[in-house]
A = this chain, B = another copy of it.
Amino acid sequence: MFHLKHPPRTGAARRSNPGATSTSAISERPDVIIFDVNETLLDLTHMRESVSTALNSKQELLPLWFTTMLHYSLVGTVSGRFEEFGAIGVAALQMVAHNNGISLTKEDAQSAIIPALFHLPAHPDVKPALQALKQQGYKLACLTNSSTQGVKRQFEYAGLTDCFDHRLSIEPLQIYKPDRRAYAWALGQLNVKPAQALMVAAHGWDIAGAQAAGMQTAFVARPGQSLYPLADTPNYNVTDLVELAHVLDID
């Protein structure tokens, strides 16, 4: 069944965002909504203090650390060597420290990242939006690069455990997003076709990967995040999940 999206609700084009120039006119109501976790649901800015302390108070290095972690997760994927996401984060922090002349042991890097990663609050819009989407009859899942145990602990701390019907980590597959195989595997686990699933993410790379896998996509424009200018426009472009729940209230 196809539904017209309500044009005033789609957030239309956000012209300040380099990848957002239009939205698709018609989208099928998805059977399942799949959420990315870090930054999309959980507020990573709460790691700023511990990471910044490890990096001699250079707060501006936080995005470089996170991007380096993402880059090296794919380095492992394309070179066929899997390492757990937290270990990659520790290694990335060591590299960023070294490249900026900061002395940091592996143990100090672990102390700066691992406890903080398990104690991230949800963005304030997340819980009410997830509850609204559930009431609208959607099946809710997550697909994260965090480990299986990691996302379990993250959701327990953030109080999100009961919001989801399925909690998926790429860890059993050992292939990181946005590799197309990660989305294909998740869709198999959920027993849905790509076009029946909506991937929700605050990262341009996640949107690009989900598009390549044939999924519907919704970009959440969290502060400091943008779409990838060379990817297609997502089906939805919203400022937060409450707006998404409003847009998806189409039945």
| Residues in chain A within 8 A of chain B (CB atoms) | 16-18, 60, 63-64, 67-68, 70-72, 74-81, 83, 87-88, 90-91, 94-95, 98-100, 103, 106, 176, 178-180, 204-205, 208-209, 211-213, 224-226, 228-231
Nearest chain B CB to A122 CB, angstrom units: 21
Identify A98's interface contact among B17, B75, B91, B106, CB under 8 A.
Answer: B17
A17–B88 CA distance with the chains assembled, in angstroms = 16
Q: Which residues of the partner chain B approach A205 to less than 8 Å between Cβ atoms?
A: 71-72, 75
Q: Which residues of the partner chain B approach A17 to less than 8 Å between Cβ atoms?
A: 98
Check A98/B16 contact, CB under 8 A, given A67-B68, A88-B230: yes
State whether B178 touches A99 (Cβ < 8 A): no
Extra 16 A-B pairs, beta carbons < 8 Å, given A79-B180, A87-B230: A18-B98, A63-B64, A64-B67, A70-B71, A71-B71, A72-B205, A77-B78, A79-B179, A80-B180, A81-B212, A81-B231, A83-B230, A91-B228, A94-B226, A99-B224, A99-B226
State whether B98 touches A209 (Cβ < 8 A): no
Check A230/B79 contact, CB under 8 A, given A64-B63, A98-B16, A224-B99: no
Q: Which residues of the partner chain B approach A83 to less than 8 Å between Cβ atoms?
A: 230
Q: Tell me what chain A mostly uses at the interface: helix, strand, loop, or mixed.
A: helix
In order of increasing CB-CB distance, the 5 nearest A-B pairs are A79-B212, A78-B179, A74-B74, A71-B71, A18-B94
State whether B208 touches A75 (Cβ < 8 A): yes
Q: Which residues of the partner chain B approach A212 to less than 8 Å between Cβ atoms?
A: 79-81
Check A204/B16 contact, CB under 8 A, given A64-B67, A77-B78, A79-B209: no
State whether B208 touches A79 (Cβ < 8 A): yes
Query: Which residue of chain B has its CB nearest to the CB of A103?
Result: B16
Please name 14 pairs of A and B residues whose Cβ atoms are closer than 8 Å in the assembled complex, sorted by A: A18-B106, A60-B60, A67-B67, A67-B71, A78-B78, A78-B178, A78-B209, A79-B209, A79-B212, A80-B180, A80-B212, A91-B229, A94-B229, A99-B226
